[in-house]
C-alpha cells in the first residue's frame, strides 16, 4: 500500500490539519467540480450558485463542470 501526501496540508500545524480533515470527514454535502484539469470539492451551495449564474447568462443546461 502506497501513501499519499497532500503537501499544503502537511505544511499546516497538526491542530489545523486535524480541523481540515475533521471538516472534510463530516461534510457530506461537498460536490466535485473540475477547473483547468484539477478537481476541487466545494459545498453544494457553490454548485447551485454556479448553475444559477450560468443560467443568468442565458444557458438552459447546468454548468458543464458542476457535480
Report the Cα 27 to chain-centroid distance in Å.
Answer: 11
Task: Find out whether 39 and 32 touch, Cβ atoms under 8 Å.
Answer: yes
pTM here is 0.48
Specify the pLDDT at position 58: 84
Q: Residue 43: helix, strand or coil by DSSP?
A: strand
Nearest to 43 by CA among 34, 55, 30: 30
Specify the pLDDT at position 66: 47
In angstroms, the CA 22 to CA 63 distance is 30
- Which cell numbers hold the place of 43? 459545498
pLDDT in tens, 17-40: 998 888 777 767 788 888 888 998
Amino acid at each position: 500500500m502506497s501513501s499519499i501526501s497532500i503537501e499544503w496540508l502537511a505544511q499546516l500545524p497538526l491542530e489545523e490539519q486535524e480541523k481540515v480533515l475533521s471538516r472534510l470527514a463530516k461534510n457530506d454535502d461537498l460536490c466535485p467540480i473540475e477547473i483547468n484539469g484539477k478537481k476541487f470539492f466545494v459545498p453544494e451551495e457553490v454548485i447551485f450558485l454556479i448553475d444559477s449564474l450560468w443560467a443568468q447568462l442565458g444557458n438552459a443546461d447546468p454548468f458543464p463542470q458542476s457535480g
